[in-house]
Structure formats: structure tokens, C-alpha cells
Chains A and B, each alone.
Chain A
């Protein structure tokens, strides 16, 4: 049975290209291979300086309490801890090595040392990974609850249908993870019950933003829509935006307190125009209007939020403000990130940031597959993903680790630049 089916010579030539250039086969894997035990010297010096700062600050804290210092110490704690562990592991490895090199050592001891060395090497890898993770500064909104906005993009009715399914996917995901969620805005397309034109889901658990922020972006769907009569596959897109949701009363934390004019996320009420969308004419006792819609416009940025779900104007206003704050904070954070990217561009030589305009994930019904374009992970269990099951979590985990790798790279490249 040595018959090889006939292959066009051009196709053959093309297939050898893959062999010649192996990076074409696994283009994204390259990023995840930097999880070896070696730390770049730049990262190491940074870790050492941070650990030093931690030591001096905790000494000062022992003498007198200062909430600002305490907070910084809490932030640096993981770095310092990981660094000591790393140092210990390094030390024991060098001790073991010197033992192996020692010619007078007994053979029994030697075999023990070899075993010990192997296990220490293994732990060193995980410790250095921890250290890298600890070095990445936490996202400022990571501990906040979040708002998840879903809007259909290109693709007409089909996009609306898929947006509805995405909303259900996130709701079941939250239920499964035990996160409290509430739909605070849901607008359906004209005369339909399953076509979304906009929805906002509030996830009230702390840290939900950190969990879900990788979901921001364009989700692409490829399938034969229910509305299609000729059985053609359509491609449409739904955009998902994850926004931080600020506590109502303003936190004690200075940076996130939106009532504090010195905060980065402060919104001057003077810059927000409130419109009660109602016809002009006599008001008060003369008429009895049921319209309770509120529209807020942030004049400098032109962001408009309108809310009409509740019968109470007060409730509508509260929700509209919550969404406006979230949108502005996200926009400002994004602008800051953009600045950083500009700084790093020379070093990284590419985009180091995932924009929300980029296509991030494809759901292909025909092949029952879901591919995340950032981590490169493909899962062949679409039903489970759309039910918000384990597979979705796997995909999200892969994106998170991809993101932290990127951030480590960015930090590593940032440090030599600072020195120059």
C-alpha cells in the first residue's frame, strides 16, 4: 500500500514552506515559551529595587502607621516574597552544584543531591513565573465590579441574534461562577424578542473587572443564520465592552474616588448636560407625563448615555451616571495606556495593546469551534462555551496568561529604556 495520492507540485512546494519556516506553524506559541527559569537581568534589578523599597517601608510602618505606606507595602508584598523564595531556590541550587562538583563527596550523597537538584530546578521555574506575575503592576480597576456592554456590529439581524446569545452566555457564566449579575439595560430590536440592539449587564462582585476585562473587543460569529434560506454561512460581529463599575458612594481610595476633584476619574458635574427627554409645554399639575427617560451628555468628550428602563427618573439618572462614569474612566485609562504604548513602541516594535476595535475571538458553528485570536487557543466544544461552561473559562484563562506575558515583556523592555 505504497500508493501516494497525486499531489499538485505547487501544493507540495507550498507545504514544504511550512517545514522550512516552522514559526509559520505555531505563530503564537513563541510568546508562551518565555516561561523558563531565567529572569532577564532587567527584571531582576527591578524586583530587587522593589523588594528594597518594601523592606524600608515596612520598617517605617513598624514605627508609625501611615495608610498610604501600608497600601504600598501590601502591593509590594508579593514581589518581596517571590524574590526571597527565588533567592533561596537559587542558593540551594548553587550549594547542590558545589556538592556535586566536590570530588570527595560520597556517591550516596551525590545521588541524593542530583534528585534534590531536579526538584529544586522544577520549583525554581514556577517561582520565577510567580515573580514575573508579581512584577506586573495590577490594573487600577482590577478589584472593581464591572459593567459589560454588548452591542451588535456588522451583520444586521444575525448580529442581534448572536448578541442575545452572548448575553445569555455571560449571564450563565456568572451564575456558574457564583457572581451576582443584573441586566440593567436591555433593548430589543423592533418587534422581536430575541434580537438585541443593546444590553448592559452589571456584575456586582468585586474583582469582576479583572476577571472579565479580557472579553473587551469584537466577537465574530460564523454560522448559517436562522434567517438564511439558501444555507450560506454568514460572518457577523458583536462588540463587547467591559467597563469598571465604581461604588456608589465613592471609595476611600483616593485614586478611584470620583467625587474628589484631584482624582483622575473625577467628572465635573458642570460638564455634564442632563436632558429629561420630554416634550415641551405646560408641566406640573397641568399634565401627567409618564416619560422618565434621562440623557446625560459629557460635553468635553461627547459621550452620551441615555436610560429609560425604569419608571423612576431618579433610578434612571443613577444608572445613567454609573454608566457615564464607567465609560469615562475606561476612556481615560485607555488614553493613558495609549501613551505608554507610544513610549514602548520603539522597543517592542509592534502593538503591545489589545484594542477594543480588534477582532478577538471567533465562534464557528459549522466546525463547533471557538478560537481566541490573542492566545491562539482553539476549543472544539462550542456548545459548552455558549453555555458559559468550563471551556469558556479555559479560553479566558489562556487570554489572561497571554496578557500577563505581554505585560512582562513590556516591562522588561521598558527598563533598559529608562536607563538610557
Chain B
């Protein structure tokens, strides 16, 4: 990490004495200024609630808003993510609650989710021209859901078009499931989600790696989405969307993953946790990073899903995942054809990519 020039620190201090603290983590004056503004707005809001509501509960000792702001800035300077300090993160039009132990939703995930929703709408409209009956309902499986952000944003974007929507978010972590349920209620309460979300979006605890063995059986579906929904879905799933842990152990330690993320965000949400019994013992580090994609591809072929959207960490990983998915799908069923696309989120190369897998059944 390059050293911040003294000149910049001085300039920051002249702007606001608290700014050099934020500069430690933000590294650039512009973003430090923005963060200071957001923190100040929040501090003012917490001390003097605008709409006369009761004082927001805070873990910081409150001595007026200045003291609060100062302690927030100090916490931030130690690397605590801004979203954990403020307790929320905007995601699309939604407001997602963030808590320690659950991965913070990223901007890339937001962009991919919106793109996926548009993709689904386009494709379903095409389908609608062909056969009208099938469009009415849509079943979506969100694996490794975390805060539930993808499920909820998809519901917000798709519910105006689909009269019947069913979205299941699966995560291994109990805390994540709790936060995801809280987020559903929170966004319905704020009026950002329609009331339908309460019944149509559900979250379940499930271990994707354990449920799906390489020789997947039809009961996998029941394992993952639960027996009651399994009956409802009648073994049909239209879309699988996932932002699984994709950081390889090497990337986790060699500085690609930033310090703040390593210290404050859960490792289990970033690096696939290798269970020696299930994963083939393999020293190849890259394969550990891609562990989830293999299972998701298997699941996709078992569930006969029409579309899968997978977030990947880089272009290289996306290309690897694309070949892997082609292999798996080709192995498990020979009747259909899979179209695999790599979609770059930004123009910058090392940034996140998404893999879109579309299956067309041959007649």
C-alpha cells in the first residue's frame, strides 16, 4: 500500500481535523470526504432523530453528535468497514442491514443482480410469445445468500411482472439467515418491497457443499429448499443465482484481499471451507477457490434449471468457471445445449465478472 503524502494529510486536516483518521482506510481525499459526510449525517440523525422517534440504539457511548462522530471515525480508522459502523448498505433501491459475521453486499453484486433481472425479463418475454402458460410463475434459488440482498432485490425487480414468484435463499450461517429475514421485514416496513415478499421470499439454512455430492440424487432438491417447498415447486427450479465464496486461500493471504475485509468480514463467506471428507484432497489452490461452482453446476443439471448466474472474482476465474460448467453439464445430460456467457461487470480487467449459463432443451 503506497504511503499517503504528508501534503495530502495536511490538506485533509485543514478541511476537517477528523479527516486524517478516515484517510488511513480510504486512501484518497475524495472518498474520505464522502465518508465523513455520511458519518456526520448519521451521527446527527442518531443523536437528534429527525421524525421525533426514539433515539436509535447504538453501541457507542453518546456524548452529543461530535463525540459520536469522533468515535465512529476512530473505529473506521482501525479498518472497520463503513457498512458495519452505519449498520446498513443501499442495494439497488433497497436498504440492507449489515451486521458483523455476515458479508457486506458489494456494488458488483448489485450490478450483476440488476443485469440478471433484466436478462430474466427479456428472456421470459421472448418465451411468452411462444407459450403463454409457463410465464405465470418463477422459481428462483439463491445459494449463499448472506444478507439476502440478491433475493430481495430480485423480488423487488421481478414482482411487478410475475404474478407468482417464489424465491429461496440458502446459507450455511444461522446469523446470515437471521439478518436476511430481518432485511425482508425491514424493507417491507420501509415500503421498498411489496408485502408479497413476506410470503414469497424465504430463507433456509443449508450447506451447499454437503448437500450436493458429485453423484447428486433427486432428493438434493428437498435437502436444499426444504420438503414443503419441494412439494410446491414440484421439482422445478427456473433460475439459480449465486454469489458464492470464491476467494482462493492464496488470494486471501497474498494481499489481493484487503486487510479490512480479512479482519472484519467472515472468512467462511469468502473462502470455500474445505471439508476433507467431501472435497477431493487436492493441493491445487485454484480448485479450492472454484469449489462451489462445481457443486452449483451439478445442482443446475439435477434441478433442470434454465438459467444460472454466478459471480466470479476475476476474468480468469470466470473463464475457468465457464469451462467447468460446460464440462459438468455435458457430462450429466446430453439432451440439452448450454450457452455459457462471461459478462464483465466493469471495463477494468481484475474486477468481478459474472457467468451466465442458459440451457435450451432440444426438442
User: A: which residues have CB within 8 A of B?
Assistant: 190-191, 276-277, 279-293, 308, 310-315
Q: How large is the interface on B (under 10, 10 to 19, 20 to 34, 35 or more residues)?
A: 35 or more
Jot down 5 A-B pairs with beta carbons below 8 A, ordered by A: A282-B351, A286-B257, A288-B104, A311-B38, A313-B110
B103→A285 contact, CB < 8 A: yes
Decide yes or no: A190 and B38 within 8 Å by CB, A283-B352, A285-B246 being known contacts.
Answer: no
Would you call the interface of chain A mostly helix, strand, loop, or mixed? loop
* Chain B 73-108 near chain A by CB (<8 Å), digits 1 or 0: 000000001110000011111000000000110111
Q: Are B34 and A308 in contact (CB under 8 A)?
A: yes
User: Distance in Å from the Cβ of A317 to the closest Cβ of chain B?
Assistant: 10
Q: For the complex, is B251 an interface residue (Cβ under 8 Å from A)?
A: yes
Number of A-B pairs, beta carbon distance below 8 Å: 104
Is B93's CB under 8 angstroms from A314's CB? yes
Given A286-B258, A286-B261, A314-B90: A281 in contact with B313 (beta carbons within 8 A): no
Given A276-B346, A290-B34, answer yes or no on A285-B313 (Cβ-Cβ < 8 Å).
yes
Do residues A281 and B35 form an inter-chain contact, with CB atoms below 8 A?
Answer: no
Interface residues of B in 326-363 (CB under 8 A from A): 345-346, 348, 350-352
**Contact status A315-B90, CB under 8 Å:** yes
B265 neighbours in A (Cβ, 8 Å)? 288
Asked if B260 is at the interface of the complex by the 8 Å CB criterion, the answer is yes
B203-245 vs A, Cβ < 8 Å mask (1 yes, 0 no): 0000000000000000000000000000000000000000101
A276 contact set on B, CB distance < 8 A: 107, 346
| B142 beta carbon closer than 8 Å to chain A | no
Asked whether B15 is an interface residue with its Cβ less than 8 Å from the other chain, the reply is: yes
Neighbouring B residues of A289 by C-beta, 8 Å = 106-107
Tell whether A283 pairs with B351 under 8 Å between CB atoms, given A288-B106, A291-B31: yes
**Cα separation A279 to B26 with both chains bound (whole Å):** 11
Chain A positions within 8 Å of B348 at CB level: 280, 283
Given contacts A282-B350, A282-B351, A314-B110, contact A287 B261 (CB under 8 A): yes
* Residues on the A chain within 8 Å of B245, using CB: 285
Q: Is the CB of B256 within 8 A of A286?
A: yes
Interface residues of B in 27-46 (CB under 8 A from A): 27-28, 30-31, 34-35, 38
Most buried by B among A191, A277, A292, A314: A314
A277 to B348, CA, bound (A): 11
Contact across chains for A283 and B15 when beta carbons are under 8 A apart: no
CB of B311 within 8 Å of the partner chain: yes
Tell me whether B92 and A288 are in contact (CB under 8 A): no
